[in-house]
A = this chain, B = another copy of it.
Amino acid sequence: MSEAGLDVLGIGNAIVDVLAHGDDDFLAKHGLVKGTMALVDAVEAEAIYAAMGPGLEMSGGSAANTMAGIASLSGRGAYIGKVRDDQLGSVFSHDIHAIGVRFETPAARAGAPTARCLIIVTPDAQRTMQTFLGACVELGPEDIDPKLVQAAQVTYLEGYLYDPPQAQEAFVKAATIAHEAGRKVALTLSDPFCVERHRSAFRELVDGHIDILFANEHEITALYEVNAFDAALQATRGSCDIAALTRSEKGSVVVAGEEVHVIDAEPVTKVVDTTGAGDLYAAGFLYGYTHGLGLARSARAGGIAAAEVISHMGARPETSLADLLKAKLA
């Protein structure tokens, strides 16, 4: 495959998800905050895993899920992220290749194993995540292939990437190359606690490097330290070209200078597992954006992709999003 004509390059933590059902008591007993992502070390991960029910393993990682969405929409994508050369690393690599996403980041040959995210899905379909970053801490600027960045209309970065130590450098390197090539840079804030951990760095990044910002209500109010969504929405105006802000069942709002679009959520018969909702919203939006659909239709595409992924267990689409979009975005 040549680098020519990529729609989106995703850069993120390459993770294998371990999903299990659990109840609120389980969360309470292990001090987990529902709906959020917490970082855990190998020992903590082992303890939570031992307490969890039987698991379902599947490839995850926020930006990687977004790339799975782009591929399912028949978009052209590539991904940069770090696994170890172990069994779960092989699973991650196999899956992202199998869906047609270019992925060539060399696996780490020593050090921590491939990252895993222990996901408890509660009966209310909310997911609570404990991430052991493992080999992701090895991702550094040397893993950023300039050719891929230059080839992609949009380079998409996940906020979670601010957790492993060297990834921030990789982040800035990618953004700089992208802008030098006249390309766009997108970021998702990922998680309110992630924003708390890295607020000032995020603020600088958004002001200096980001064209398209994805965030949900909790994340965007955390970033700007405001209480109200509207105040946060105003704050985005000064710092990035486009802000696509998701509000769960209230749909999404897209702000681009004076332009504002309020988009209803796509109806879902039964919400089974919200894992990947934000990732797939970004996939739909970025597919639309890189295919000239305009902001409002891009946001609807995001909603359609998110609705598919929350209707089943797991963070990657199970049906062809291209077909869904054709049917629903006529």
* Chain A residues within 8 Å of B, Cβ to Cβ: 20, 49-50, 52-59, 68, 86-88, 91, 94-96, 98-99, 113-114, 314, 316
Check A56 against B55 for contact (C-beta < 8 Å): no
> What residue of chain B has the Cβ atom nearest to residue A116's Cβ?
B87
User: How distant is A311 from chain B, measured CB to nearest CB, in Å?
Assistant: 14
Find A56's partner among B49, B57, B87, B114 (CB 8 Å cutoff).
Answer: B57
Given contacts A87-B87, A87-B113, contact A98 B59 (CB under 8 A): no
Known contacts A56-B57, A56-B314, A57-B58; can you find 5 more A-B pairs with CB under 8 A? A20-B98, A54-B94, A55-B58, A55-B95, A87-B113
Which residue on chain B has the smallest CB distance to residue A314? B56
Copies of the polypeptide in the assembly: 2
A99 to B21, CA, bound (A): 12
24 contacts between A and B (CB under 8 A): A20-B98, A49-B94, A50-B94, A52-B98, A53-B98, A53-B99, A54-B58, A54-B59, A54-B94, A54-B95, A54-B96, A54-B98, A54-B99, A55-B58, A55-B94, A56-B56, A56-B57, A56-B314, A57-B57, A57-B58, A57-B91, A86-B86, A87-B87, A87-B88
Q: Which of A49, A50, A53, A87 has the most CB of B within 10 A?
A: A87
Chain A contact residues: helix, strand, loop or mixed: mixed
CB distance from A74 to the nearest CB of B (A): 15
Complexed CA–CA distance, A132 and B70 (Å): 33
Q: How far is the CB of A260 from chain B (nearest CB, A)?
A: 37
A113 to B88, CA, bound (A): 13
Which B residues are in CB contact (< 8 Å) with A49?
Answer: 94
